[in-house]
Amino acid sequence: MSYVNSDALVDTAWVADHLDDPAVYIVDGSWHLPPTGRNGEDEYGEAHIPGAVYFDIDAISDPDSALPHMMPTAEAFAAAVSAMGIANDQRVVVYDSDGLFSAPRVWWMFRAMGHDNVAVMTGGFNAWKNEGRAVSAEIPAPAATKFTAQLNTNVVRSIDQVRANIDSGEELVLDARAADRFAGALPEFRPGVQPGHIPGSGNLPYAEIVDAAAGAFVSATDLRNAFDAQGATGTQPVVTTCGSGITACILGLGLHLIGRDDWAIYDGSWTEWGGRDDTPKGPEG
């Protein structure tokens, strides 16, 4: 069984065939967890797909928030994307180092800002290199464009909305973190963030729906089964969360692939929830 929205993904061969297509814009959205010591922009500067521009998830964010990489205003997003040379009539293709980690976050941000013509390249830069395809260290200097953005607030959830949902139960909250972090068995690496999870939430670790070796999603059937097992059958809206709003977007993209588009991202995620003293925390509740 194939994905319902298969156009949300492209492979390395497709990207190689469209490197010189002016209607296609390639974006490197690599980002790494702080404990890895890796820096996506530095790695992009060393080597990237020829012509690709770098999308800095940390920089293209709300400067007034103390939380990491929160969604910026539509005006700030449009200004940043315009400076990259991206126009509204172009197909944006996002990749990251590993295949499916941070690229879905950039994919979601474009869609949240009204640009649906965006896809993720499966396999990532690792696959691109392993296939012997051309790489470049040249940083493009594109001419600025006029990109128009409008934030769809229906696809973003605030802490107040998630708090209210604990009592109402109207939306199913799914946490993409690993099971031991969800259970509170491991300390959180961000200072001041307590372990645990949002009471009443379910846990679908993103690693369970991604083939890490291939940098791609599992089959459509396996995706459906994984979400169904958590109660995300398409009959109830879903809010996805994680550590800081990155891997939550992997769950969101997975839902989109199987045609279940009634979902939103809790942007502050556990960094916000676990970093406050006034929020209830599971497993104790």
249 catalytic residue (yes or no): no
Q: What are phi and psi for residue 76, nearest 5 degrees?
A: -70, -40
Contact 90, 96 (CB under 8 A): no
Contact 103, 128 (CB under 8 A): no
**What's the one-letter identity of residue 69?**
H
Task: With CA atoms as reference, report the closest residue to 38 among 109, 46, 136.
Answer: 46
CA distances (Å), origin 135, targets 26, 77, 240: 13, 28, 34
- Among candidate residues 57, 106, 242, 265, the one labeled active-site is 242
Q: How far does Cα 266 stand from its chain's mean position? A: 12
**What's the one-letter identity of residue 218?**
V
Listed in sequence order, the DSSP H helices in the chain are 12-17, 40-46, 74-84, 103-112, 124-130, 159-168, 179-182, 220-229, 248-257, 269-273
Contact 91, 24 (CB under 8 A): yes
Report the alpha-carbon angle 202-232-4, nearest 5: 140
Instruction: Specify the 3-state DSSP secondary structure of 216.
Output: strand
CA distance 7 to 118: 9
Active site positions, annotated: 242
